[in-house]
Amino acid sequence: MSREQLLELGRQKCSALLAQYPSSTALLSVLRQIEYLIGLDNGTITDRSRLKEIIIGVLTAREIEPLDDDAAETFYQIASEAKQM
């Protein structure tokens, strides 16, 4: 799976979880971070300074893994990919 596909899959899974848990600030944060990564990946965002602020892995471990293991795995892959960007 390409980085673009992985990020889009993560956005879809996060949006679906947000529909189930609309008050989750962790999910909202993950969604915003994924959207930032998508922007970096496709070139619409050029400011790379926020890359060091990506905490998808930490949020997933603390907040999301208990909600959905499948989504958590995708978010861990995205966190790993973000370190390579």
pTM over 0.95: no
Q: Looking at residue 65, what is its pLDDT?
A: 94
Q: Looking at residue 43, what is its pLDDT?
A: 93
| Residue type (1 letter), 62 | R
Domain count for the chain, please give it: 1
Low-confidence ranges of the chain (pLDDT < 70): none
Q: Looking at residue 24, what is its pLDDT?
A: 95
Distance of alpha carbon 5 from alpha carbon 75, whole angstroms: 13
Helix (H/G/I), strand (E/B), else coil: 46:
coil
Q: Looking at residue 84, what is its pLDDT?
A: 92
Helices 3-20 and 25-42, interaxial angle, to 10°?
Answer: 160
Domain carrying residue 70? 3-83
